Amino acid sequence: MRAARMYGYREPLRIDEVPIPEPAPEEILLKVAAAGMCRSDYQLLDGYFQRPFPVEFPYIPGHEIAGRVAGLGRAVLSTVDYAEGDMVVVDPSWGDGTCRQCREGNEQLCSGHGRWVGFGPPGGFAEYLTVEYRHAVPVSAAAARKPEVLAPMTDAGMTPYRAMRKLRDAGKLGPGRTVVVTGIGGLGSYAIQYAKLLGGGATVVALARTDRKLVVAKDNGADHGINVRDRAVTDIQAELERTTGRRTVDAVLDCVGSAASVAMGFDLLGPEGALAAVGLMSDRVEHRQFPFVGMELSYLGSFWGSHLDLVEVLSLAEAGLIKHNVTTVRLDDINENLAALGRGEIIGRQVIVFD
């Protein structure tokens, strides 16, 4: 099979011919149909995850995966009822199944010996992949016709969904409230839609650094959009007041994760406001202590999503409630597209298709 492999950090991937893997007893072999390209893939290559997720070279990355069943390990239960050619998506978080987090259904937070496909186990930037059968989520025949929109749901589609649910469950959304989504890329384009689906009538504002991304946000349901490039917080507050009638907001979902974006989000929050962070651009953030305590602000980390989160967003997508901003690309062009991701030039999601 052909596979894009890492040979070192800050080096381009190489397209190699390698053996097709053999499934272990409880694994299935997938013929990869589509693999999404995420900024965290660029960050893996750039060394951002070198300490938490060390990998052995040569290594195949890629964690947003949809594929067709091509073989079954001998211990795969007959009750699973997989047949060759069935389309599945891969739940990327492979917990050990024994820790408290796993037993609660949050395998992405496994405190035991959890693994994450594309950050340890070989990923989906290859024509074939093996995965334990319990981490494969089957989809309908109708959904299987478009694997390029299935693959991104495993991260870009699932991660902001979990974070928006946290803001909703914390009581920060609803009528008369304003929620901001910062960063309209792969995750942010879905986050806008979840703000409308889960927001209970809240006003949705998109913050981005290009007008092109704000157009996508408006198409996906944002009530207002503000270009924040080279603008002071006071200017953004003035624009908020002009469009929403208020200089502050009740909730922020930050899909960027830079020190500057998180600081801006906190500065925009009003009393009892909450910021949920899913972006990972910087390795640390800061905020002034008195406003944080004196205004009773909340800072919510939200990492990836659970198996149930993935099933829910797939159901929403199949019901036609989610719009996808997907561009298909070739495996041969992976390096130039990852570089564009690193520069912040990609709108929506680029997905490698193999069929």
Q: Is the pLDDT of residue 355 over 80?
A: no
d(CA 338, CA 6): 13
- Amino acid at position 123, single letter: G
pLDDT band (50, 70, 90) for residue 79: confident
Domain ranges of the chain: 2-155+305-353, 159-301
Q: Is the pLDDT of residue 183 over 80?
A: yes
pLDDT, mean of residues 145-164: 97
For 328-343, how does the pLDDT look when each residue is reduced to its tens digit (9 = 90+)? 999 999 999 999 998 8
| Exposure of 18 in the CB half-sphere (CA atoms within 13 A) | 18
For 98-107, how does the pLDDT look when each residue is reduced to its tens digit (9 = 90+)? 999 999 999 9
Q: What is the mean pLDDT of the chain?
A: 95
* CATH (one of 3.90.180.10, 3.40.50.1370, 3.30.70.270, 3.40.50.970) for 2-155+305-353: 3.90.180.10
pLDDT band (50, 70, 90) for residue 217: very high
pLDDT, mean of residues 5-28: 97
Structure tokens at 73: 């390990």
CATH topology of domain 159-301: Rossmann fold (3.40.50)
For 37-61, how does the pLDDT look when each residue is reduced to its tens digit (9 = 90+)? 999 999 999 999 998 899 999 999 9
Number of other CB atoms surrounding residue 308 within 10 Å: 12
d(CA 142, CA 48): 38
Q: Is the pLDDT of residue 277 over 80?
A: yes
- The pTM (predicted TM-score) of the whole model is 0.95
Spatial contact of 75 and 69, defined as CB atoms under 8 Å apart: no
Structure tokens at 187: 């995750």
Q: Is the pLDDT of residue 275 over 90?
A: yes
Alpha-carbon dihedral 216, 217, 222, 226, rounded to 10 degrees: -120
Q: Is the pLDDT of residue 62 over 80?
A: yes
3-state SS assignment for residue 123: coil
For 283-332, how does the pLDDT look when each residue is reduced to its tens digit (9 = 90+)? 888 899 999 999 999 999 999 999 999 999 999 999 999 999 999 999 99
- Per cent of the chain over pLDDT 70 is 100
Q: How far is CA 43 from CA 204, 281, 333, in A?
A: 29, 8, 18
d(CA 276, CA 248): 16
pLDDT at 30: 98
pLDDT at 137: 96
pLDDT at 344: 85
d(CA 313, CA 315): 5
pLDDT at 347: 87
Assign residue 147 a region (left: φ > 0; alpha: ψ between -120 and 50; beta: otherwise). alpha
pLDDT at 78: 78
Q: Is the pLDDT of residue 124 over 90?
A: yes
pLDDT at 49: 93
Burial of 342 (0-12, 13-18, 19+ CB in 10 A): middle
| Exposure of 330 in the CB half-sphere (CA atoms within 13 A) | 3
Q: Is the pLDDT of residue 264 over 90?
A: yes
pLDDT band (50, 70, 90) for residue 77: confident
